[in-house]
Structure 1
């Protein structure tokens, strides 16, 4: 019986430890060396530790309040040997609530009443997600010509953001809920929050590219026709959007295009979703076209999943060839794309999709280890168009980031 209880307790402890380990993984420890100056050893040490915090986490955390906390703690132990006073180190860790994990004094010197202290300090730092290293994009509210188009603009921006996020190729930054984010950051900086948690402050990301644009037209047209003494009424919706991708630091326009679609009825929302799907695909195809990541017989695993890929969609299978360089600008124009087959998506997961090969002119499994295969959605022109629907698709553009331009 005791053994069963012990096993049960062990299982419970294991379940508790795993989440705690995962929760703690967002905080890492960074050791740095800094110097500080002041009219006492305590003040100079406090200055050095404050500089260490600023070096690791930014000036937002190395505030006057923190410096005061450090100075008060160190001045309390002014008579001790700071390099060996473990009680002082522990006091600092407690007073800063874990932000300054530990430190040791490397050297101290006095000149004309001014002390200079060099320290080696271990500071808590918020470990950002690896996704933050992706190309960063922000979809900003699209401008409108009338107040009635505001709802359409909001739905389009929301849908475009969701599509680009699900591609998992970019770090999509939110600007729509900035107030809520600021409120949460205010909680982190309030009294009672551990400074180790406060390490999350000062980590706001800046965007690389802004996606902006204008809703040029979002209208519903009604047409009446007299037939055999009766009046027949038909509605059609039209949506026209122009957009740009702008390099945030320089303001340079990296891409500009437009999309126009129409549909029978008054389904402007459906057109907004269709526009978001087409534009997001154009952006992804330009920067990071979908690659074949694994081959198993006639099954291909694609490096993209989520809402942007749907079961039943057919993609052209392309073999990447030589790089193409513009003769005038010497910039990369992409690479040769040799069509070698056709595939159909049979399963979609959050990060990957599985497709079956419908036809192929090469032995994919044989070439795959040393060759790069990409896929592009079969054009609408190659499929029967749904009744009452027409659209204008954006033309191919060059990649937005130099690293990607060198490949595609």
Structure 2
């Protein structure tokens, strides 16, 4: 039998490595497809791209280069809405001294590094249409500037309020595994409601690793428009987890010789708050017993916050057997019941003049009969709803009556006695 050579062994190792890599790629692709189907992505989620925008700019300056510099700064500001430092454009122009009319000027990708980090667009090219010398030693130029501006994936974040969910901590402020798991469940719930643009605040390492491919010039120029797109949150959800506590008390009964043990305690508790980032004003606070799975607790927290900001609404009441509700997915379930209220005039606090919301009048009880990814259907089971388009109908969850929890008593015996047998003093 011929023994494998070193070269042959290395070849086997390389082949095995390639197989493992292919399997990892297939597993990643399968996981990615599963994520898309589970999260309900549809055709509105296209690929991110940098759209080319060409603008006609007129600018003046003490010299042709100075005028061109001012024109390029204006072009970036006009397209992206971001004001950048003039010195950034000036540095780019130092490598491009050909100022002839009609010539097409393109910047090298490496020269875009400073520019793309200061704005959400990069100058792909510009053309000098005309150069005129004005009085008082001024020069006026007319430019056609092409800028690659990042186009956001899917629904624009401008149409939704932005929210970030932080990990839940224990009473000492330390983030635990339980707090991180609850954070993940809450993010999943809020994303599925499609009410907020949910921002990530936990995967910074993966983000910076991916962005480094762009900032180091390893990608095409069009990809560099992705830089400086990180959004700031309008709202921030924070919270604390308190573990359940229990107390054991024992009482000896002389008549029977028994020792009765009584266990009392408090369940675990989750406190949460919703803060407006710009003002650091706490808009909403609440708490729940930490009973059930993380998904159950996350649904309680998420539904309360979303109902406070974006309550469910009936958007089509023309058919009382198939009312259309403006939300679907996992946040609405078949058989779920709601109370429908008609909205009236807006009410104001007489002292602070703050809006208290619109007056609500109970009109009907409805039950969900069908759920789609983006909306759901319900039927009226009690009362009536107006069929006019102008009627504003908001839905509230019915208030559940709380049931007091009884303490648990445990009848204990002394260690010398047999289990489940109670001996009285006169027994022999």
Q: TM-score, normalised by structure 1?
A: 0.70
Once the two structures are superposed, the pairs formed by residues 177-188 of structure 1 within 5 Å of their partners are: 177-188=203-214
1:154 equivalent in alignment to 2:180: yes
Structure 1 residues 378, 30: CA separation in 2 closer, same or farther (over 3 Å shift)?
farther
State the alpha-carbon separation in 1 of the partners of residues 370 and 157 from structure 2.
24
Structure 2 residue corresponding to 1:286, chosen from 305, 308, 313: 308
Q: TM-score, normalised by structure 2?
A: 0.67
Check whether the contact 1:33–1:52 (CA below 8 A) recurs between aligned residues: yes
Provide, for residues 358-408 of structure 1, a one-character-per-residue CA deviation record: whole Å limited to 9, x for no partner.
Answer: 222x2x3x5331201111122222xx97999xxxxxxxxxxxxxxxxxxxx
Structure 1 residues 44, 149: CA separation in 2 closer, same or farther (over 3 Å shift)?
closer
Check whether the contact 1:138–1:209 (CA below 8 A) recurs between aligned residues: yes
Question: How far 1:201 sits from its partner (Å)?
Answer: 1.6
Check whether the contact 2:320–2:379 (CA below 8 A) recurs between aligned residues: no
In structure 1, the partner of 2:189 is: 163
Question: How far 1:53 sits from its partner (Å)?
Answer: 3.1
In structure 2, the partner of 1:306 is: 329
1:48 equivalent in alignment to 2:71: yes
1:218 equivalent in alignment to 2:243: yes
Structure 1 residues 385, 355: CA separation in 2 closer, same or farther (over 3 Å shift)?
farther
Mark the structure with the bigger radius of gyration. 2
Structure 2 residue corresponding to 1:124, chosen from 135, 148, 153: 148
Check whether the contact 1:101–1:124 (CA below 8 A) recurs between aligned residues: no
In structure 2, the partner of 1:349 is: 372
State the alpha-carbon separation in 2 of the partners of residues 282 and 203 from structure 1.
30
Question: How far 1:125 sits from its partner (Å)?
Answer: 0.9
1:335 equivalent in alignment to 2:335: no
Structure 1 residues 299, 285: CA separation in 2 closer, same or farther (over 3 Å shift)?
same
In structure 2, the partner of 1:261 is: 289
State the alpha-carbon separation in 2 of the partners of residues 190 and 148 from structure 1.
36
The unaligned stretches of length 5 or more in structure 2 are 1-42, 113-121, 252-257, 407-428
Structure 2 residue corresponding to 1:379, chosen from 399, 409, 418: 399
Question: How far 1:344 sits from its partner (Å)?
Answer: 1.4
Structure 1 residues 251, 23: CA separation in 2 closer, same or farther (over 3 Å shift)?
closer
Aligned partner of residue 367 in structure 1, secondary structure:
coil
Provide, for residues 78-103 of structure 1, a one-character-per-residue CA deviation record: whole Å limited to 9, x for no partner.
Answer: 4x32xx23xx24x4599989843544
State the alpha-carbon separation in 2 of the partners of residues 163 and 35 from structure 1.
51
What is the alpha-carbon root mean square deviation over aligned residues?
4.1
In structure 2, the partner of 1:316 is: 339
State the alpha-carbon separation in 2 of the partners of residues 149 and 223 from structure 1.
29
Aligned partner of residue 329 in structure 1, secondary structure:
coil
**Which range moved further: 340-349 or 48-57?**
48-57
State the alpha-carbon separation in 2 of the partners of residues 34 and 221 from structure 1.
76
State the alpha-carbon separation in 2 of the partners of residues 279 and 304 from structure 1.
17
The structure richer in helix per residue is 1
Aligned partner of residue 371 in structure 1, secondary structure:
coil
Provide, for residues 308-328 of structure 1, a one-character-per-residue CA deviation record: whole Å limited to 9, x for no partner.
Answer: 212221111211122211111
1:207 equivalent in alignment to 2:233: yes
Provide, for residues 127-173 of structure 1, a one-character-per-residue CA deviation record: whole Å limited to 9, x for no partner.
Answer: 23423331111112233235887122112222222222222121211
Question: How far 1:28 sits from its partner (Å)?
Answer: 5.0
State the alpha-carbon separation in 1 of the partners of residues 361 and 208 from structure 2.
49
